Structures are given as structure tokens and as C-alpha cells.
């Protein structure tokens, strides 16, 4: 691995590989390696790669593999003093940090946080949104490995993804050189550090201001991501611990869900809430 010379507000190294199985696996190996030099993998250590051979998603069989240099793929190692020290709604708050960083990177672009672990970008002129970012967090005791995949410079997607995925380049209408992905990484790290160290309890308000489908009716698959228990309800907000609040059809009081997945039509027009 080589060490990138980019600012990291966590004060930890940013490592780069051309190709890996997955950055998540490399991050875990660094965290467990007792032979590593002192300080090699402190809180905030980053592993990024140009290509992942076996990137994985929240649902078995959903991998996040993109062309070399077209996307930004990385894992951040966050080390807390035990499970009880892990911040609430960490995956969702990472999504907020990534959304804000994308808006810093591509001015004028509105990024939406889709519960529980995606970021959506608009389709130009269509009033619809598509997935541009996937996030996956895995914990080992107080260590949390947050894997992030961002579509940055892609102009085309495989047939099965064309109506569901987008990139910053497509959403902004700009030609983006793949080399700029490290500038985006720098902005994401700055936003994530600020969110975890200085943002306090404002995260719920900030997420609800850009929560995808906020106030609209959507289908929801309750429980595991591949659950068949689907119902419809109005998205009402985010709970204290990052739960999704939904008012089911025929009811008036929101219910809180800690696991599940929004089930939506990808051609569905949606007007974001006014910020």
C-alpha cells in the first residue's frame, strides 16, 4: 500500500491500493494486525482503492463494483472505547456527511439521504432521483469499519443498473476527471470528522432536511433487506437513534423501524422538502 498525501482531519493515514478484494477486508486486517507499527491504524485510518474485486453491499449478492478511477471506494476505520462508545445512527450520519461533501464538491447539486445507507442524486430534468452512493458499516467490538462507494465520473452503467444508478458527473452535467476523486475524499473526511466531533445533536434535523421521500408515501420492506413483508406509509422523519419513522396507511401515529428498506419505483417523481 502507498500512503496518499491528502489532509485527514482525524490525523490518521490514508492508504491507497490499485486493486483489492475489498477495502473493508483490508481495513479489518490493519485493525487486527498486532505486528503493525505503532500508530499505523489509529482512529480515522482510511483505505481506498481504484478497483474492488469483491466489494459487497448490505444485501447478499449486491456488490459495489465500478470501473477503475471512475468511482471512489474506501473504508474508514473508527475506533471507539467499546460498543457503548459507538455514536448513535453512525451509518446514517455518515450518509449525511457524504451528501454534504458531494454538495461541496459539485456546487448546486442537491444530495438526498435515503434511509438507511444510500445517497441519492437527481436525474437532470426528470424530477427523479437515483442511487449514487452506498454505505456499509461493520463493527468488531468498538472498532467500526465504514465502507463507502461513490459513483463519481461514470457516464454509463450496465443494463441492470441504468434505471437505478447515477453518478456525480451525470447528475451535475459536468465532465469529471477520475483523478478528482481524491479531492472528494478529502471533503468527505472533513465532513465526517465535523459530524462526529463537533455537530452535536443537530444531525437529525440536518438529515430530515434532505431525507429522501420525507413526507411522501413509499413502500417499505420491514425487517431484513430482502424481506417480503412490505407495506405502504408516509415517511415522517428520523428517530432519536436513527430509526425510520413511518405513518402506516390507515394510522395516524408514526411507528419506528430499526431495519428494513424503502421499496420505491425508480421513475417516481419526488419534490424534496424545502431547506
Q: What is the pLDDT of residue 127?
A: 83
Q: Categorize the per-residue pLDDT at 268 as very low, low, confident or very high, splitting at 50, 70 and 90.
A: confident
Residue corresponding to grid cell 421499496: 263
Could you tell me the pTM of the whole model? 0.91
Alpha carbon distance 145, 96 (integer Å): 17
CATH 2.30.30-classified regions of the chain? 217-263
Q: In what helix (H) or strand (E) does residue 150 lie, and over which residues does it extend?
A: strand 143-151
φ, ψ dihedrals at 197, nearest 5°: -100, -30
Instruction: Please write the tens of the pLDDT for every residue from 183-218.
Output: 999 999 999 999 998 767 789 999 999 999 999 999
Determine what percent of the chain is predicted with pLDDT higher than 90: 71
Beta pairing, strands 255-257 & 260-263? unpaired
Instruction: Please write the tens of the pLDDT for every residue from 20-77.
Output: 999 999 999 999 875 555 456 899 999 999 988 875 554 454 444 556 788 999 999 9
CATH 3.30.930.10-classified regions of the chain? 2-208
Strand partners, 256: 245
CB atoms within 10 A of CB 7: 10
Residue corresponding to grid cell 503493525: 36
Which CATH superfamily, name and number, covers 2-208? Bira Bifunctional Protein; Domain 2 (3.30.930.10)
Alpha carbon distance 161, 111 (integer Å): 19
Of 35-39, 76-80, 271-275, the range with the highest mean pLDDT is: 76-80
Q: What is the pLDDT of residue 58?
A: 45
Determine what percent of the chain is predicted with pLDDT higher than 70: 89
The dihedral of CA 23, 192, 152, 111: what is its sign? positive
Name the nearest CA neighbour of 160 among 61, 70, 232: 61
DSSP 3-state assignment of 139? strand
Alpha carbon distance 180, 7 (integer Å): 14
Alpha carbon distance 26, 13 (integer Å): 14
Asked if the bond preceding 116 is cis, omega within 30° of 0, the reply is yes
Q: What is the pLDDT of residue 55?
A: 57
Alpha carbon distance 74, 63 (integer Å): 14
Alpha carbon distance 235, 237 (integer Å): 6
Does residue 160 surpass a pLDDT of 90?
Answer: no
Q: What is the pLDDT of residue 124?
A: 86
Grid coordinates belonging to 146? 465504514
Does residue 270 surpass a pLDDT of 90?
Answer: no
Name the nearest CA neighbour of 221 among 43, 25, 59: 59
The dihedral of CA 251, 257, 263, 266: what is its sign? positive
Residue corresponding to grid cell 423501524: 257
CATH number among 2.30.30, 1.25.40, 1.10.730, 1.20.120, domain 217-263: 2.30.30
Q: What is the pLDDT of residue 34?
A: 58
Alpha carbon distance 61, 38 (integer Å): 37
Amino acid at each position: 500500500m502507498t500512503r496518499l498525501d491528502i489532509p485527514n482531519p482525524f490525523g490518521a493515514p490514508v492508504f491507497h491500493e490499485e486493486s483489492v478484494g475489498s477495502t473493508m477486508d483490508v481495513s479489518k486486517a490493519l485493525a487486527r494486525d498486532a505486528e503493525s507499527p505503532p500508530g499505523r491504524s489509529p482512529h480515522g485510518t482510511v483505505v481506498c482503492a481504484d478497483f474492488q474485486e469483491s466489494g459487497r453491499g448490505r444485501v447478499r449478492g449486491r456488490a459495489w463494483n465500478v470501473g477503475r478511477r471512475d468511482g471512489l471506494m474506501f473504508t474508514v476505520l473508527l475506533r471507539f472505547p467499546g460498543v457503548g462508545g459507538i455514536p448513535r445512527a453512525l451509518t446514517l450520519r455518515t450518509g449525511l456527511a457524504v451528501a454534504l461533501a458531494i454538495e461541496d464538491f459539485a456546487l448546486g447539486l442537491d444530495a438526498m439521504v435515503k434511509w438507511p445507507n444510500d445517497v441519492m442524486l437527481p436525474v437532470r430534468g426528470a424530477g427523479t432521483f437515483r442511487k449514487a452512493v452506498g454505505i456499509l458499516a461493520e463493527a468488531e467490538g468498538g472498532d467500526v469499519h465504514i465502507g463507502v462507494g461513490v459513483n463519481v465520473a461514470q457516464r454509463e452503467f450496465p443494463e441492470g443498473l441504468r434505471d437505478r444508478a447515477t453518478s456525480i458527473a451525470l447528475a451535475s452535467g459536468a465532465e469529471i476527471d477520475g483523478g478528482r476523486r481524491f479531492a472528494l475524499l478529502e471533503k468527505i473526511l472533513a465532513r465526517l470528522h465535523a459530524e462526529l466531533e463537533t455537530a452535536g445533536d443537530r444531525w437529525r434535523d440536518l438529515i430530515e432536511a434532505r431525507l429522501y421521500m420525507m413526507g411522501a408515501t413509499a413502500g417499505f420492506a420491514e425487517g431484513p433487506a430482502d424481506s417480503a413483508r412490505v407495506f405502504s406509509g408516509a415517511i415522517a422523519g428520523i428517530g432519536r437513534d436513527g430509526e425510520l419513522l413511518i405513518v402506516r396507511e390507515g394510522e395516524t401515529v408514526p411507528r419506528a423501524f430499526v431495519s428494513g428498506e424503502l421499496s420505491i419505483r425508480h421513475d417516481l417523481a419526488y419534490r424534496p422538502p424545502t431547506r
